[in-house]
C-alpha cells in the first residue's frame, strides 16, 4: 500500500462486527476522511471484523467499506476467521485479499507498511 507524496499510510485493524456498535462505522468514516485527504488506507479484518468482507451485505458499515475498497483502500482478511464464521472464500467481496497467515501478515503491515494504526 503506497500513498501520495506527503501522505501517511493508516491501517485499521477491525475485530468487531460491523453492527455490534458504532465503533466500526466511526472507523470507516475516519478512513473515508483520510482517503479524502489523500492518505493511503488499509484494513486488516480479524475475529468478527471479517463480516465486513462478506459479499452482498447491506448496511451502512458494509456500504462504506465497499466504497473505500472501490476507491483504492486495501484490505486483508484472515482465512481461519472467515472459515470459523462460515464464510466461504467465494463469498468474500472483490478487492479483499484472504490470507492463510494472518498474524505474520498483520505484523508486517503494522511494522513496515503503515505509519499509523487504529484498532477497533
Q: What is the pLDDT of residues 52-65, one digit of tens each?
A: 999 998 899 999 99
pLDDT at 4 over 80: no
Number of Cβ within 10 Å of residue 91's Cβ equals 13
- Rounded CA-CA distance 9/85 in Å is 29
Domains of the chain: 9-119 (3.40.1260.10)
Counting beta carbons within 10 angstroms of the beta carbon of residue 56, is it exposed (0 to 12), middle (13 to 18) or buried (19 or more)?
Answer: exposed
Residue corresponding to grid cell 472464500 = 89
* 54 Cβ neighbours under 8 A, 6+ residues apart: 62, 87, 91, 92, 93
Q: Report CA Rg, the chain.
A: 13
What pLDDT does 1 receive? 40
- Rounded CA-CA distance 68/74 in Å is 8
- Rounded CA-CA distance 56/115 in Å is 31
User: What pLDDT band is residue 112 in, cutting at 50, 70 and 90?
Assistant: confident
Length of the chain: 120
| CA-closest candidate to residue 6, choices 36, 38, 43 | 38
- Rounded CA-CA distance 32/100 in Å is 28
**The pTM is what?**
0.88
What pLDDT does 92 receive? 96
Amino acid at each position: 500500500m503506497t500513498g501520495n507524496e506527503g501522505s501517511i499510510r493508516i491501517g485499521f485493524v477491525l475485530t468487531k462486527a460491523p453492527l455490534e456498535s458504532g465503533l466500526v462505522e466511526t472507523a470507516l468514516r475516519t478512513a473515508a476522511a483520510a482517503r479524502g485527504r489523500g492518505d493511503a488506507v488499509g484494513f486488516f479484518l480479524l475475529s468478527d471484523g471479517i463480516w465486513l468482507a462478506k459479499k452482498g451485505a447491506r448496511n451502512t458499515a458494509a456500504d462504506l467499506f465497499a466504497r473505500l475498497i472501490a476507491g483504492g483502500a486495501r484490505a486483508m482478511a484472515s482465512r481461519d476467521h472467515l472459515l470459523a464464521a462460515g464464510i466461504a472464500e467465494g463469498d468474500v467481496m472483490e478487492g479483499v485479499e484472504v490470507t492463510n497467515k494472518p498474524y505474520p501478515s498483520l505484523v508486517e503491515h503494522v511494522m513496515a507498511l503503515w505509519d499509523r494504526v487504529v484498532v477497533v
